[in-house]
Amino acid sequence: MSVKKRLGKIKIVKKRTSITKRIYLIFAVIVVLFSIIVLRLAQMQILNKSFYDTKLNSSTTYKVTSSSPRGQIFDAAGNLLVSNNVKQIVAFTRSNTITAEEMKKLAKTLSTLVDFTETNVTTRQKKDYYLADSDTYAKVVKSLPDKEKYDNYGNNLTESKVYANAVKAVTDDEINYSEDELKLVYIFSQMNAASTFSTVNLTTGDLTDEQIAYITANRSKLSGISIATDWDRQTSESSLSSVIGTVSSKQSGLPAEEAEDYLAKGYSMNDRVGTSYLEKAYEDELQGTHTVRKITTDKTGSVVSDDVTSGGKAGKNLKLTVNSEFQSGVENILNQYYSAEIAAGYATYSEGAYAVALNPQTGAILAMAGLSHETGEATTTLDALGAINDIFVPGSVVKAATISSGWENNAISGNQVIADQSINLAGSPAIKSWFTGSGATNITAVQALEYSSNTYMVQVALKMMGQEYYSGMALSTDGMKDAMEELRATYAEYGLGTSTGIDLPETTTGYLEDDYSAGNVLTEAFGQYDSYTPMQLAQYAATVANGGKRVAPHLVDSVYDNDGTTGLGTLSKTIETNVLNKVNISNSEMALLQQGFYQVVNSTSGYATGTHMRGNVTIAGKTGTAETYAVDNGNVITTVNLSVLAYDYSRSDDSKIAVAVIIPHLTSDENHPNQLIARDIINLYMSTYANQ
C-alpha cells in the first residue's frame, strides 16, 4: 500500500471520530436538560405542591365601591340650607354569572312589580336590548357575511368583534319600540352598565310600602334585586341657592372633562359630584368616603368571601359665614331703595343693584346680594351670583388706590397739596372735578378723597407719566404704558382687576383693556376706565378698613364631621384667615387714606360727598359716580354708575363690616341710593349681628 493511501485512511478515521464526539456532546446536553426538567417537575409536584394547588383552584378578586351620602350645608346661625332627601329605591347588584338574557327577563319581571318611568335611551342601548335574547343574537350572527365572523384564514373572530358586527346589522325597524318597551330598555341598560358585583340604583317611580315589602320578601326570586336607600340633593329656597351650586345626577355621574382626575382620587364613574360654585369648590369635604368590599370567587365563579375592607362615611358638613337672616335683610334694603329708583323712572336702563359685606379682619362673607333688572321692567329677581360675575365701571371709589400708587411710585409724598383746577389739554375737553371753580383750589390728599377731586388724580397720573401739568399742554404718550401698569399693580394690591382668592370659582377678575391711550391713563386714575366686580370692590373696602391687608373672601366658616344626625356634627377645622398681600405703603400713609374716608362721611365741609351715610353708626367710606351711557332705539342716553365703599369706623383697624354697593346705569343720582343702602346695611349688622 502506498503512503498516499495510508494518509487518506487516517484522515477519514479522524473525521469520523470528530462526528462521534459531537453526537456524544449533544446527547449529554439533552440528558442534562432532561434532568433539569425532571428536577423542576419534582420541585413543583413535591416541594411546591401547595402553591400550585392554590393556583389550580385559583380565585378571582373584585374590588367594589359604593358611595355615601353627601355632607350638609348650614348657614352661620346653624340653619340647614342643603340636605339629602333620603328615600328607598330598587337596587340591582350584578353577579359574575348573570347573562344579558337573564337581565332582560329580570327587567320584564320587575316591570310587573314597580313603575318604570324613564324612556330616554340611545340607539345602541336599544340594540343591546334586542340582542340580549340568545335566539335573536344567534339568528343575527348567522345572517352575517363570513368576513364579519371569520378572518382571512377561516378562524373565528373574537366574540367582541362578532358582537360589534351584529350590532351594526340590527335595523331601525327591529328596534322600533313602544313607550312601554323603551322603559324596559332603560332599566335593562342600567343593569347592563353595572360592572361585576357593583350595585346600581334603578330609576323607577316612587315605591309604595307594599312594593317595598314584596321585593324584600322575594329577593331570592329576583336575582340581584334589593331595596336600598338613595338620596337627592335638597336645597332650601333662598338667594344663596345659586351660590351653593349644583351636584351631578346619578345618571350623568362624573363630568366627562374631569372624569380622569376624579377616578385617580378613587371615585366611581357614577358618583355624584359638585359641578358648580360651593358644591364644586368644597367637593373634597362634601363627598363622603366610599364603602369598599373585597369579593372573592373560586374557579367555578362561586363567591367564597365578601368582606368590607373599608367602611364608608357620610361627607363632612359645611357651616357658612352668611347668616340667612342678615342676607335677607340686605336683600330687603337693596329692594327698598332700588324699587324707589324704578318707581321714579331712574332705573329704566339699569341692570340691577349689588351689595357685598365682608368681615375686614377675616374675609368672611357676611352677605352677597344682588337684584337683576330687565330694561324697562318694574320687577327684579334675586341675583347673588352677580356679585362675583358682573363687572362695572366704578367711578371715584378707586381714588384711594390712585393716591397709593402715587406714593408707591414717588409721584407724590405724604399729604401733598395739589391744586384742584380745570385740566386743559390741547385738543381735549377740559377735565374738572364736580366742585372745580374758575380758579384753582389747593387741596391735600385727604381733601382730594373728601371732596372726590378728579383733577388731583389726573395730576398724580401725569406725574407718574413723567409729565408736569400746565394749561394747554399737549398730552404725550411718554410714560403712558409704565404709568398704567403701575396704577393697575397698585389697584391689584387692593383686589381690583385681580383674583380675590374667594373660595368660589371666579368667572371674571374684571375687565382691563389692553389697547389704551394716554388719555385713558388719566381717566383710569379717577375710575372711568377699567371695570370690576362688586366682590372686588368689597375686598378693596375691607383692605382700607383693616389697615392695608388684602384678605381673601370666604363663604365657608368651618367644616364639621358628620355624625349622622341632622345637626352640624363635630368641628373638624375652621377656615383660616388668608392674607394675600399687604398694600405697599406706610402705616402713616394708610392712616391718611382712612382719615380721608372718615372725612367723606363725617366732615362739616359742604364739599364732603358721603354725608348721606351718617347714621347711628360712625361710618367711613368713599363714593363713586361713573359717567356711562345706554342706547335706546338708537338714541344715546347719559347714565351714571353709583358706587360706594363703606365700613364701620375705628381708629384701631378693628372694623367689623366693610360694604361695597354698586347700581349701574341710573339716569339720576339725586336720591343717593348707593349711600343709603350702605348706611342701612352697616346699621343693621352692627345693631343685630356684630356680636353674635
Query: 367-422: per-residue pLDDT in tens?
Result: 999 999 998 899 999 999 999 999 999 999 999 999 999 999 999 999 999 999 99
Q: Residue 514 and residue 520: Cα distance in Å, rounded?
A: 11
What's residue 62's pLDDT?
Answer: 63
* Pick from 244-253, 385-394, 520-529: least confident: 244-253
**134-143 vs 159-169: helix axis angle to the nearest 10?**
90
Query: 443-455: per-residue pLDDT in tens?
Result: 999 999 999 999 9
Nearest-5° Cα angle at 264, 260 to 270 = 65
User: Is 494 a residue whose pLDDT tops 50?
Assistant: yes
* Pick from 92-101, 224-233, 530-539, 670-679: least confident: 224-233
**534-545 vs 587-602: helix axis angle to the nearest 10?**
110
Instruction: State percent of the chain over pLDDT 90.
Output: 67
Query: 249-281: per-residue pLDDT in tens?
Result: 877 888 888 888 988 888 877 788 999 999 999
Query: 22-43: per-residue pLDDT in tens?
Result: 777 777 778 777 777 777 766 6
Per-residue cell: 383 = 341675583
Task: Tell me whether residue 396 is one of the annotated catalytic residues.
Answer: yes
Contact 656, 648 (CB under 8 A): yes
What's residue 226's pLDDT?
Answer: 86
User: Is 3 a residue whose pLDDT tops 50?
Assistant: no
* 3-class secondary structure, 263: helix
Radius of gyration of the chain (CA): 39
Contact 267, 255 (CB under 8 A): no
What's residue 7's pLDDT?
Answer: 43
Write the CB contacts of 688 (distance below 8 Å, at least 6 apart in sequence).
326, 329
Q: Residue 419 and residue 431: Cα distance in Å, rounded?
A: 13
User: Is 533 a residue whose pLDDT tops 70?
Assistant: yes
Per-residue cell: 604 = 362739616
- Which amino acid, residue 126? K
Set 396, 453, 531, 603: catalytic member? 396
Per-residue cell: 465 = 407719566
- Phi then psi for residue 337, to 5 deg, are -80, -35
What's residue 1's pLDDT?
Answer: 47
Nearest-5° Cα angle at 98, 97 to 101 = 140
* Pick from 109-123, 164-178, 295-309, 495-509: least confident: 295-309
Q: What single-letter DSSP state applies at residue 600?
A: H
What's residue 310's pLDDT?
Answer: 67
pTM strictly above 0.85? no
User: Is 442 a residue whose pLDDT tops 90?
Assistant: yes
pLDDT-derived band at 48 (thresholds 50, 70, 90) equals low
Q: Residue 477 and residue 466: Cα distance in Å, rounded?
A: 10
Q: Which long-range contacts (CB under 8 A, 24 or more apart) does 405-412 make?
A: 405/460, 405/464, 405/486, 405/487, 405/489, 405/490, 405/491, 406/460, 406/463, 406/464, 407/585, 407/589, 408/486, 408/490, 408/584, 408/585, 409/464, 409/486, 411/460, 411/463, 411/464, 412/445, 412/460, 412/463
Q: Residue 612 and residue 39: Cα distance in Å, rounded?
A: 102
Compute the CA torsion angle 558, 74, 540, 573 (nearest 10 deg).
0
Residue 336 has a CB neighbour count (10 Å cut-off) of 13
What's residue 51's pLDDT?
Answer: 60
- Phi then psi for residue 309, to 5 deg, are -90, -20
Per-residue cell: 108 = 320584564
- Phi then psi for residue 377, to 5 deg, are -85, 160
Contact 443, 496 (CB under 8 A): no
Q: Residue 672 and residue 613: Cα distance in Å, rounded?
A: 9
Sheet strands (E) in 54-98: 60-66, 73-74, 80-93
User: Is 153 a residue whose pLDDT tops 90?
Assistant: no
pLDDT-derived band at 423 (thresholds 50, 70, 90) equals very high
What's residue 354's pLDDT?
Answer: 98
Q: Residue 687 and residue 178: Cα distance in Å, rounded?
A: 65
Burial class of residue 598, CB neighbours in 10 A (0-12, 13-18, 19+): buried
pLDDT-derived band at 356 (thresholds 50, 70, 90) equals very high
Query: 70-125: per-residue pLDDT in tens?
Result: 999 999 999 999 988 888 889 888 888 899 999 999 999 999 999 999 999 999 99
Beta-sheet strand order (sheet of 291-297): 60-66, 291-297, 303-310
User: Is 308 a residue whose pLDDT tops 90?
Assistant: no
Parallel/antiparallel/unpaired status of strands 60-66 and 303-310: unpaired
Q: Residue 313 and residue 310: Cα distance in Å, rounded?
A: 10
Instruction: State percent of the chain over pLDDT 70.
Output: 91
Residue 644 has a CB neighbour count (10 Å cut-off) of 35
What's residue 76's pLDDT?
Answer: 95
Contact 558, 319 (CB under 8 A): yes
